[in-house]
């Protein structure tokens, strides 16, 4: 008997889609106020998950959903870095 392993579920802060943790990209805010994207496994700090779609990243930044989820106020540099990362993601299919 091979019991199936539990797969952690997460939700996109922008669109609300739910799925396996590995389907999403984690953005983390460390205690010093820095933003890490994509956050590495085991990296501490408050995290938020987003779909790997450009639209979700833009929506999350425009509506401040990422800021609310991380409980931080993003600087213009942080927002620019997140938009730069989002520009490399694929469009919705």
- The CATH code of domain 9-87 reads 3.30.1230.10
* Beta carbons within 8 Å of 87's beta carbon, 6+ residues apart: 54
Place of tokens 């509506």: 63
C-beta of residue 9 within 8 angstroms of C-beta of residue 1: no
pLDDT at 2 over 90: no
Specify the pTM. Answer: 0.85
Distance, in Å, from the CA atom of 76 to the CA atom of 82, rounded to the nearest integer, reads 10
C-beta of residue 40 within 8 angstroms of C-beta of residue 28: no
Place of tokens 């450009």: 54
Domain residue extents for the chain: 9-87
Chain segment 15-49, per-residue pLDDT in tens: 999 999 999 999 998 888 788 887 776 677 889 99
């Amino acid at each position: 008997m091979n019991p199936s392993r539990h797969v952690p579920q997460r939700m996109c802060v922008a669109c609300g889609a739910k799925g396996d943790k590995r389907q999403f990209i984690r953005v983390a805010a460390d205690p010093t106020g820095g933003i890490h994207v994509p956050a590495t496994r085991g990296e501490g700090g408050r995290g938020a998950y987003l779909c790997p779609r450009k639209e979700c990243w833009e929506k999350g930044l425009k509506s401040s959903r990422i800021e609310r989820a991380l409980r931080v106020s993003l600087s213009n540099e942080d927002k620019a870095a997140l938009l730069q990362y989002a520009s490399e993601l694929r469009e919705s299919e």
